[in-house]
Amino acid sequence: MTKKNDSYYMLTGAWQFCYSLKEYDFKELKDIKESTLDVYLATVPGNFEIDLMSNHIISDVYFGANIEKTYEYENYHKWYFRSFEYKGNKNKLSLIFEGLDCIADVYLNGFRILETDNMLIAHEVSVEQLIKEVNELVVHFKPVRDQAKKHDYPLYSAAFPFNYESLYIRKAPHMYGWDILPRIVSAGIFKDVYLVNKTSVFEEIHIDTMEIEDDMAKMLLYFKLNICDFNMNDYELWLNAKCDGSEIDEKISVLFISGRMLFSINQPELWWPAGKGKPSLYEAVISLYKNNQLVEKTEVTFGVRIVRLIRSETTDNKGHGQFLFQVNGERTFILGTNWVPADALHSRDKERIPVMLDMVRDIGCNMVRCWGGNVYEDDIFYDLCDKEGIMVWQDFSFGCAVYPQDDRFIEAIEKEATSVIKRLRTHACLVLWAGDNEVDCAHSWFGRKTNPNFNVINREILARLVRLHDTYKEYLPSSPFISEEGFLAGDEFLPEYHLWGPRDYYKSDFYQNANCHFASEMGYHGCPSVKSIRKFISEENLWPYENREWQLHATAPMPDKDDRYNFRIQLMANQIKVLFGVVPDNLEDFSYASQVSQAEAMKFFIEHFRSRKWRKTGIIWWNLIDGWPQFSDAVVDYYFDKKLAYSFIKNSQKQILVMIGEENNHKHDILICNDSKINEKVTIRIEDENMNMVFDQTCYSLNDEVIKVGEIDSAENEKHLYKINYEINHVQHVNHYLAGKPHFELNWYKENIIK
């Protein structure tokens, strides 16, 4: 969206709302006042549930079992309304809703001006003919389940029971209930709403990198202008862009309302991802002149970079395949995290995003994967990723289902995808469009196995739209992508995969011997701290864990009716038992043991992938932070309280890491993984838990490689907690390694890890 300034007339803040099971034909405020419905105060941006809580109609939906109170409100019609004065310019005046959730009719001064059915994109309508000095705005939200019932559901389509009604409704898929977020279908004006005069001549501006070669970047500026002048011969488009010492001045004659400027940058300042270099951004001013007189100018930020995804359709157990990101001609090992909803109630997203991205940077990630069960994030997210050098893998908003293929649905998807692509494409951070999350996989779920290559949405529609509107970006049809060749070979031979599997001991064969080159999902459960648990579980249900509140926050949308998500609390207990042999009988030890289990697992996953660089090319682990209070795979809970895994991951994602490999022929390799661009001298000292020195040596690491620098003996069935101290350029670093096979004794671990 265009950045809002003084010319925008904001309609955020105080509104009112009412709701009813019965549908009324409210078009004006007098219709509502004449009804018998109670009227309450509301806040925009907001969500219906937040307004219910603010008016003390329901209690905090994130506490205890209160989330279940929201289910009955799914069937209600909701009306949001306000009056406002407007004495500004009416010329080309538009009303813009950045986020309406979701099936809504909008009335201005008694006239229906807008019908919406998609929460994932902005909605705009001209109002210059209807606006007055004093105005009334009424938004009627219809129950999405009622709308979902109006569609036909072909045999081809399929979803999990709580997600079936989401298939046709363009709303964040997670809102119907997921294993990481509650069922909270919601409604409301969850983003900004405002009036603006759409008088700009710049309808579209996009700058992209076509090629970088021999210190020369070949660039494209695409433009589309809103000009009604019959004589275009008098127009010129000027570009001035600066970044540090680099500056570009170019101009072309404008002969039509749309066109392109091709220009080059000698020795450009490149945009690099975190750890590879500076994420340089050019600040550009684009000006339109007529007869040498300035008509208008606009500003845009862009990065100069080329990102390629080099992949094969299959691999094998010898690694004859690829899934590799190459940035500006350099292969780049990916250390990333999956980005899930910042909040289950999306009006709260924006305020949480900066803190979350600070953690992404702090923990050492160079990529986030925007997961397909989510909304498309606010502009602030992509702006910050641009500045921090955090690459973004962007899923389109589809997940874990087989979606309809009819013409009407495809038409809606084309409108949505076109809007999203055009909004995000200029961001330097955006390196990959992916068609969806696990939709290819879903063709083998639900008691059947069908070929996902029949799916025209991710094979044809989205692929075509990315190519049309963001020509130089990479596109991946699905994550994981199952091509015709991959379908015949089987999931174990896909080069990119989501490594969930049995979720047993984190060093089992499934994790250690997976063929994939790249894991775009991989995680392990970890209990929140007791302090955080007390914020969302009632005192009487804190312990033992076999109760409804724990299940609801596990997350099971309806524990009584759905077996699919009811396993997660027991899974957490089982993972503790795998590592320590017993499950603690009190909450404090249970929480700590679970966090250790998660931390050691996540550390192992990351170090295992890094130790096999470049046979392995990246891991996007699941996940950084929760979108509501729960027991999950996140390494930071909803309240921003970091679990033990956070510090373990931060340590394991350092640019230069000394680590110990898995036992092989009674030996452990000592490895240095260097993701930087320079060779470094590294002094290494390793002690066991009894402070016996087992390795003491100064070594040299090789840039962008992993090398073996030594080994230590490993006696059968011996358990050790090795402390790894290493020094680089007079800076001290630490790591550790838990050697041996479980079970380990919890107090022994606690004593030695703290020592």
CATH of the domain at 663: 2.60.40.380
Residue 552 domain flag: no
Q: Both 733 and 696 in a single domain?
A: yes
pLDDT bucket at 7, cuts 50 / 70 / 90: confident
Q: Which of 191-200, 541-550, 552-561, 648-657 has the lowest mean pLDDT?
A: 552-561
**What average pLDDT does the segment 211-225 reach?**
96
Q: Both 97 and 133 in a single domain?
A: yes
Q: What is the pLDDT of residues 223-271, one digit of tens each?
A: 999 988 767 788 999 999 999 989 999 999 999 999 999 999 999 999 9
Residue 604 domain flag: no
Which residue, 197, 217, 252, sits at the end of a domain? Answer: 197
Q: What is the pLDDT of residues 274-311, one digit of tens each?
A: 999 999 999 999 999 999 999 999 999 999 999 999 99
Backbone angles phi, psi at 22, to 5 degrees: -90, 145
CATH number (domain holding residue 266): 2.60.40.10
pLDDT at 18: 98
Per-position DSSP letters for 602-670, written without gaps between them: HHHHHHHHHHTBTTB-EEEES-SB-SSS--BS-SB-TTSPBPHHHHHHHHHTSSEEEEEPPPBTTEEEE
Q: Both 128 and 209 in a single domain?
A: no
**What average pLDDT does the segment 692-708 reach?**
96
Q: Both 160 and 13 in a single domain?
A: yes
Backbone angles phi, psi at 44, to 5 degrees: -120, 130
Residue 37 domain flag: yes
Q: Measured between alpha carbons, how far is 692 from 416 in angstroms, rounded to an integer?
A: 62
Q: Both 15 and 132 in a single domain?
A: yes
pLDDT bucket at 512, cuts 50 / 70 / 90: very high
pLDDT at 229: 79
The number of domains in the chain is 3
Q: What is the pLDDT of residues 621-665, one digit of tens each?
A: 999 999 999 999 999 999 999 999 999 999 999 999 999 999 999
Q: Measured between alpha carbons, how far is 690 from 372 in angstroms, rounded to an integer?
A: 48
Which residue, 302, 331, 363, sits at the end of a domain? Answer: 302
Q: Measured between alpha carbons, how far is 755 from 740 in angstroms, rounded to an integer?
A: 19
- Identify the bridge partners of residue 299 per DSSP, sorted by sequence position: 285
Find all residues with CB under 8 Å of 321, minimum gap 6, and list them.
311, 312, 313, 314, 315, 493, 495, 517
Q: Both 142 and 47 in a single domain?
A: yes
Q: Both 223 and 182 in a single domain?
A: no
β-strand 731-739 against 720-728: which pairing, if any?
antiparallel
The chain-wide mean pLDDT, for the chain, equals: 96
Q: Both 163 and 217 in a single domain?
A: no
Q: Both 662 and 721 in a single domain?
A: yes
Q: What is the pLDDT of residues 703-737, one digit of tens each?
A: 999 999 999 998 878 899 999 999 999 999 999 99
Give the range of the structural domain holding residue 131, as residue numbers without chain letter.
9-197
The amino acid at 165: E
Which residue, 151, 170, 197, sits at the end of a domain? Answer: 197
Q: Both 167 and 72 in a single domain?
A: yes
Q: Measured between alpha carbons, how far is 229 from 582 in angstroms, rounded to an integer?
A: 79
Q: Both 744 and 695 in a single domain?
A: yes
* 103 conformational bin, left if phi > 0, alpha if psi -120 to 50, beta if neither: beta
Residue 464 domain flag: no
Q: Measured between alpha carbons, how far is 322 from 617 in angstroms, rounded to an integer?
A: 8
Q: Residue 445 is encoded by which pair of tokens?
A: 């779920």
Residue 562: pLDDT over 80: no
Residue 2: pLDDT over 50: no
pLDDT bucket at 6, cuts 50 / 70 / 90: low
Q: Both 76 and 119 in a single domain?
A: yes
Residue 672 domain flag: yes
Residue 108 domain flag: yes
Would you say how long the chain is, in residues? 755
Residue 415 domain flag: no
pLDDT bucket at 1, cuts 50 / 70 / 90: very low
Measured CA distances, 235 to 4, 160, 261, 497, 607 (Å): 28, 56, 14, 51, 58
CATH number (domain holding residue 185): 2.60.120.260
Token pair 């979803």: residue: 159
Percent over 70 (pLDDT), the chain: 99
Residue 93 domain flag: yes
pLDDT bucket at 5, cuts 50 / 70 / 90: low
pLDDT at 559: 80
